[in-house]
Amino acid sequence: MILEKKERDVPIVGGKSNGISVDSNKTSKLLYVLTQGIYKDGRLAVCRELASNMVDSYLSCDYNIEDKPGFIKITDDCIYFIDQGSGMSRETVDNVYSNLLASTKENDNDAIGTWGIGSKTPWAYTDTFYVTTCKDGDKRTYAPVKDGAESKIVLISEEVGESDGTTVFLNTKSDTKEWISTLINVLPCFRHIHLNYEGSLFSQANRSEER
């Protein structure tokens, strides 16, 4: 999404001014604000932002999300956000995904995102999550990790993949019902992303119906 920039004349009183910068010793505070502090509800932020990224992942494809829908899968202890979009190359991960505020969408009004922080919303819920992405047969899995003042993206594995796409997944905290409730409220805004639940609550419901 292209942000509108308005130029205006600002009267300056006095002769001296100081530029505003970010204190390099306070990066942990800035990291907290951008990945956790601005979100009141971590689950809601994760569902909304990652679903938006799933939609945006199809913008550079020669097919759309209607042809190859995205899926959000929930088990008893994990949630997966699975798209069949363009995937991320190594360069994109190194130069964009690994940098807060960097984005590939700043010059595209068809994109939902632009700020370069939505992909890190899982940090509003957990300190570690996982990203598996495949681009042109190059499939890699990473672990974005936040440890106090430190944050890093660790390459866990790499292999030959088949189809392009990205899966983001994180471990949940015995709050499956809350995740499902959040998704039920969010997903009507994303009609081509489907919910797939494979946990014990579903099995228990089926057993109750059989009785």
pLDDT of residue 118: 85
pLDDT digits (tens, 9 = 90+) for 190-200: 988 999 988 77
DSSP string, 71-126: EEEE-SSEEEEEE-S----HHHIIIIITSTT--S-TT-TT-S--SS-GGGGGGGT-
pLDDT digits (tens, 9 = 90+) for 49-74: 999 999 989 988 888 888 899 999 99
In sequence order, the β-bridge partners of residue 78 are 171
pLDDT of residue 149: 66
pLDDT of residue 3: 56
Tokens of 40: 């009141």
What value does the mean pLDDT of the chain take? 83
Residue 208: phi and psi, rounded to 5, are -65, -40
pLDDT digits (tens, 9 = 90+) for 83-134: 999 999 999 999 999 887 777 776 666 677 666 678 999 999 999 999 999 9
